[in-house]
């Protein structure tokens, strides 16, 4: 009984040493499981993010022009109403562009993240299943599954939170 406790402590210390030696993943390796379709999705998602991000300065430009039109057309109410209607239409167009671009940003990055994490889970599970039998004596079955989930979920968060939001 005492010997098995010592063996478990020794195996746990080996696992702890391996955990300490883990390195952070470099940025360029975040996309190691991406294929051409994922890169296309990432490009469309990035374009959507750029358009979405540039909408606020464009909003302020349109708003500034609208405010300037108040002072230019103070005497002619019909012309001022026409100018305000024109800028209101610009705001509607800008709102539609923002909705479409933000949807493209989120949807493309979410979908490519899910695809890459799914590929990574398959590869990770294959690598775990190819391990020697002694590897499985160190860890319990739920620990292995939780390890697969935890590490792939971390990558998914990195892909989405860091790149998308």
Q: What is the pLDDT of residues 42-98, one digit of tens each?
A: 999 999 999 999 999 999 999 999 999 888 878 888 888 899 999 999 999 999 999
Task: Report pLDDT digits (tens) over 99-157.
Answer: 999 999 999 988 988 888 888 888 877 887 787 777 667 666 677 777 777 877 777 77
Tell me the whole-structure pTM to 2 decimals: 0.69
Cα(7)–Cα(60) distance, integer angstroms: 68
pLDDT at residue number 17:
55
Compare 37 and 76 and report the one with higher pLDDT: 37
Task: Report pLDDT digits (tens) over 8-30.
Answer: 555 555 555 555 555 666 767 77
> HEC states along the chain?
CHHHHHHHHHHHHHHHHHHHHCCCCCHHHHHCCCCHHHHHHHHHHHHHHHHHHHHHHHHHHHHHHHHHHHHHCCCCHHHHHHHHHHHHHHHHHHHHHHHHHHHHHHHHHHHHHHHHHHHHHHHHHHHHHCCCHHHHHHCCHHHHHHHHHHHHHHHHHHHHHHHCC
Q: What is the CA radius of gyration of the chain?
A: 27
pLDDT at 4 over 60: no
Cα(29)–Cα(27) distance, integer angstroms: 5
Cα(88)–Cα(93) distance, integer angstroms: 9
pLDDT at residue number 1:
47
């Amino acid at each position: 009984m005492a010997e098995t406790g010592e063996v478990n402590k020794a195996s746990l210390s080996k696992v702890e040493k391996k955990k300490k030696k883990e390195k952070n993943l470099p940025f360029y390796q975040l996309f190691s499981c991406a294929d051409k379709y994922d890169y296309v999705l990432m490009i469309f998602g990035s374009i959507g993010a750029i358009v979405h991000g540039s909408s606020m300065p464009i909003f302020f430009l349109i708003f500034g022009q609208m405010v300037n039109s108040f002072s230019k057309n103070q005497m002619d109410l019909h012309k001022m109403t026409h100018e305000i209607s024109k800028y209101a239409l610009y705001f509607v167009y800008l709102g539609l562009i923002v909705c479409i671009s933000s949807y493209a940003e989120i949807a493309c990055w979410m979908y490519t993240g899910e695809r890459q994490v799914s590929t990574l889970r398959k590869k990770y599970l294959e690598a775990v299943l190819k391990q020697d039998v002694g590897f499985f004596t160190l860890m319990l079955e739920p620990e292995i599954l939780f390890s697969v989930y935890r590490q792939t979920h971390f990558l998914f968060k990195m892909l989405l939170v860091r790149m998308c939001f």
